[in-house]
Structure 1
């Protein structure tokens, strides 16, 4: 055999081997894809045994979005019936905003004030008008982030524990704001 023939054969052999390998690889990949498509993926095994003792658990109560919306709407309606332009916020027990309704013509500062009043009311499970009085003996309370010690916040409680707060801001007095917030709380008991 000549050197040229030997290299040609070697090249042909290499091409043939590469083609066979590519075909085998392709068939294997196609087979794996087909098998995966035909069989649904199995979810990881779930832990089915209860590993937590009941004494280590605590149930908590939360307002539904419907209840929070109903309360906010009642507070806003009470304000609008007296021609007041306010914003109403409802926060959950952790201070997360659930619903905010900004009435027509409410001032830009009213949004944040309503949220902060709601947070303050739920944090201490007390109307913010009562909490304002506590500042006389503990003036540093006002330094707690997210709070606002002005009348206009009312807590929502279930079984004596706070579960939400309603804050209203924008009326010319905190007493009016709080009156509207209490209307929101009252809507939850109807």
Structure 2
């Protein structure tokens, strides 16, 4: 067994302070290195864009995601369903998830996975369930859920988001509620 020398509290505080200063100085250097006053970096970005090295994509705003979720929850209320609604961006990252009053605890994760699945294939999850017959290993892809209730949101021919709903007694009802969220963004 190794003997550890006791260090006074003052020494520990001084050493910790020195480490904190070193980390802060390093962070400051990193921040200041990224901030340039000349126009060369802007010119380099313009050249990259001109060369086709950058792509621009469309993403839903948080306001649009909230509008879609509210419309879906309103539809759920009309149908007397207790559901969770999730909206994910083009990359499958969750923008927001809202668990409606009385929705079951399992519905939170299921809604997010349905939204992720819908945007990943740019198709309603009810359609994707049919693809499992010819490609059963699709269901093994992490983060996906092949049950009705997910709907893609598209703009300019490409997927920009997914809306997932879970908690109703059937995927068909979940998907009808998700489609109400999609419709709210179209109008």
Please state which band the TM-score falls in when normalised by the shorter chain. Answer: 0.7 to 0.9
User: Could you state the TM-score of these two structures normalised by the residue count of structure 2?
Assistant: 0.77
**Structure whose CA Rg is larger:** 1
RMSD: 1.3
Q: Which structure 2 residue ranges, 5 or more long, are not aligned?
A: 1-31
The answer to whether residue 104 in structure 2 is matched with residue 107 in structure 1 is yes
Unpaired runs of at least 5, structure 1: 1-40
Matched residue SS, 2:72: helix
**Secondary structure, aligned partner of 2:86:** strand
Give the structure 2 partner of residue 137 of structure 1.
Answer: 134
Count residues with an aligned counterpart: 149
Partner residue, 1:51: 47
Q: Distance in 2 between matches of 1:163 and 1:175?
A: 22
Question: Matched residues in 1 for 2:181 and 2:65: separation?
Answer: 9
SS at match of 2:153: strand
CA distance in 2, matches of 1:134, 1:141: 8
SS in 2 for 1:129: helix
Matches of residues 81-100 of structure 1 in structure 2 within 5 Å?
A: 81-100=78-97
Counterparts of 1:180 and 1:159, CA distance in 2: 23
- Normalised by the length of structure 1, the TM-score is 0.76
C-alpha displacement at 1:59, in angstroms?
A: 1.2
- Partner Cα distance (1:48, 1:180) in 2: 45
